[in-house]
Amino acid sequence: MNNLLQYSDYLVAFLIIVGAVFMLIGSWGLVKLPDFYTRLHAPTKASTLGMGATLLGSLVWFSLQEQSLHIHELVISLFLFITAPVSAYMVGKAAIHRHRPMVKGTANPEEAERAAKRLGQKH
Amino acid sequence: MLITVVLAAALMIGVAMLFCLWRLIKGPDITDRILALDTLYINSIALIILLGLYHGSALYFEGALLIAMLGFVSTAALAKYLLRGDIIE
Amino acid sequence: MMRYLLPMPWHTVMLVMVWLLLNGASWGQFVLGVVLGWVIPLLTYPYVRGHAPIRKPVALFVYMLRLVYDIVVANLDVARRVLLPNRYLKPGWLAYPLRIQEPFPAALLASSISLTPGTVSVEFSEDSQVLYVHVLHLDDEKALIDFIAQRYEQPLKEIFGC
């Protein structure tokens, strides 16, 4: 049993570090990427996986501590996985509506204009 | 060993939150600020989970769940306000 | 009669299960969960619009497992692109021709696209014929459209039978 706990410690440590590294990369992307639309990618993706890994680590640890499946983490991560694309969609929609500038070299910028125009017609 | 790892991860997430804060202050537009707030609350959930691991207490999950829900609703409300100039139709 | 007393039976089952998972299984919590699972659908039923029925639950499960795998792969890809210098970035817009017209499967497709390979769906066109997608690294438009159609849209069409 002690051996099992020892190994599970390594697993938990690995998951937590991976999660933190992904969160860090996601936030670094928020600082570094050149325009709003590219910045939209970093938090929605990297942070989701970062949260998933951190919560998985916590799930393993608490489940072994209490000798029963600890389900709260699953609920939180499921909630985040469902809401992340929705909030990205809504913020992105607001951004094309406000005609946020794109970085030079973006392919097909006219598609964004078309989407914004259709959005304008609706109201 | 696990305590050290948790502290190191918390340090990384603290730095990540500073990055978000920088984007929150710098802007340049309100959409960037909303995005920064969104990332900030996700980071804070991770920080609370790590705090729970540090203290070995499962009580922090209620807080994490609350932040997750309120954070999503506030992001959605802010984005909707930008789109319509109104939150409740 | 059944429709008025128990408008959404699957929601009731799900609510009771989530309640028990969150609060620990005991008979008292079970009773409380059943009461909540009965009252909440009763109150929210008028606001819920029906969606296309799920024809193949097993296929939906397989789809979700594959989605989790794709999320991990996509995250590694995005992390790599974030760490590379900006000059290697080739962002672009993509107008994806939608073949699914039902709102619920289309929303699932848009969410899947947002969570996976370097793409975020941003807006539907007014007639729901086109989904506007921002791509972090756009190499080959045609290939990406084919990839999304085969990997996500086709399974969703089969699951919901539309």
pLDDT at A2: 59
Residue C83 lies in a domain: yes
Please give the average per-residue pLDDT across A75-87, as a whole number. 85
Contact C86 A96 (CB under 8 A): no
Residues C21 and C72 in one domain: no
Which range of residues forms the domain containing residue C35? 2-47
Give CATH for domain B2-84: 1.10.287
- Interval C85-136: pLDDT, tens: 877 778 888 888 888 777 778 888 888 888 876 777 777 776 777 888 888 8
Contact, C141 vs C91, CB < 8 A?
no
Contact A20 B45 (CB under 8 A): no
| DSSP state letters, A9-73 | HHHHHHHHHHHHHHHHHHHHHHHHSSSHHHHHHHIIIIIHHHHHHHHHHHHHHHHHHHTS---HH
ipTM of this predicted structure: 0.84
**Residue A67 forms beta bridges with which residues?**
none
Q: In what order do the strands lie in the sheet with C119-124?
A: C92-97, C130-135, C119-124
pLDDT at B12: 92
Contacts of B10 in chain A (CB under 8 A): 20
Candidates A111, A114, A121, A123: best to mutate against C (most CBs of C within 10 A) is A111
Whether residue B48 lies within 8 A of chain A, CB to CB, comes out as no
Residues C76 and C145 in one domain: yes
| DSSP state letters, chain C | -HHHH-S-HHHHHHHHHHHHHHH---HHHHHHHHHHHHHHHHHHGGGPPP----S-HHHHHHHHHHHHHHHHHHHHHHHHHHHS-GGG-B-EEEEEE----SHHHHHHHHHHHHHSTTEEEEEE-TTSSEEEEEESB-S-HHHHHHHHIIIIIHHHHHHHT-
Residues C41 and C61 in one domain: no
Q: What would the two tokens of residue B84 be?
A: 């319509």
Q: What would the two tokens of residue A70 be?
A: 């600890």
Number of domains in chain C: 2
Residues C16 and C74 in one domain: no
Residues C39 and C63 in one domain: no
Please give the average per-residue pLDDT across A50-64, as a whole number. 86
> One digit per residue, pLDDT tens: chain B, 89 residues?
788 888 999 999 999 999 999 989 987 888 888 889 888 988 998 899 889 888 888 788 888 888 888 999 998 888 888 887 665 55
How distant is the Cα of B7 from the closest Cα of chain A, in angstroms? Answer: 10
Residues 55-94 of A with CB under 8 A from B: 55, 57-58, 61-62, 65-66, 70, 72-73, 75-76, 79-80, 83, 86-87, 90-91, 93-94
Q: What integer best gives the mean pLDDT of chain C? A: 80
Query: Left (φ > 0), alpha (ψ -120 to 50) or beta: where does C24 sit?
Result: left
Q: How far apart are CA A54 and CA B6, in angstroms?
A: 10
Q: Report whether pLDDT(A68) > 50.
A: yes
pLDDT at B88: 58
Q: Report whether pLDDT(A122) > 60.
A: no
Contact, A29 vs A50, CB < 8 A?
no
Candidates C75, C83, C127: best to mutate against A (most CBs of A within 10 A) is C75
| A105 or A18, higher pLDDT | A18
Whether residue A99 lies within 8 A of chain B, CB to CB, comes out as no
Q: Residue A62, Cα to own-chain centre: how many angstroms?
A: 23
Cα-based distances in Å from B28 to A105, B55, C131, C138, C159: 20, 39, 27, 25, 43
Number of domains in chain A: 1
Which chains have 3 or more CB–CB distances shorter than 8 Å to chain A? B, C
Alpha-carbon radius of gyration of chain A = 20
Phi, psi of B86 (to 5 degrees): -165, 145
Please give the average per-residue pLDDT across A16-31, as a whole number. 89
Instruction: Give the residue from chain C lying closest to A71, CA to CA.
Output: C21
Q: Report whether pLDDT(A120) > 60.
A: no
Q: Is B15 exposed, middle or buried (0-12, 13-18, 19+ CB in 10 A)?
A: middle
Residue C128 lies in a domain: yes
Instruction: Give the residue from chain A lying closest to B18, CA to CA.
Output: A27
Contacts of C126 in chain A (CB under 8 A): 118, 121-122
Residues C127 and C150 in one domain: yes
Residues C21 and C76 in one domain: no
How distant is the Cα of C118 from the closest Cα of chain A, in angstroms? Answer: 7
Candidates A32, A35, A41: best to mutate against C (most CBs of C within 10 A) is A41
| Domain segments of chain B as ranges | 2-84
Residues C68 and C31 in one domain: no
Q: How many helices (H) and strands (E) does chain B have?
A: 3, 0
Whether residue C109 lies within 8 A of chain A, CB to CB, comes out as no
Whether residue C132 lies within 8 A of chain A, CB to CB, comes out as yes
Residues C36 and C67 in one domain: no
Contact A115 C118 (CB under 8 A): no
Classify residue B56 by its DSSP letter.
T
Q: How far apart are CA A118 and CA C96, in angstroms?
A: 15
Residues C39 and C106 in one domain: no
**Residue C130 forms beta bridges with which residues?**
C97
Residues C141 and C61 in one domain: yes
User: Which residue type sits at C149?
Assistant: A
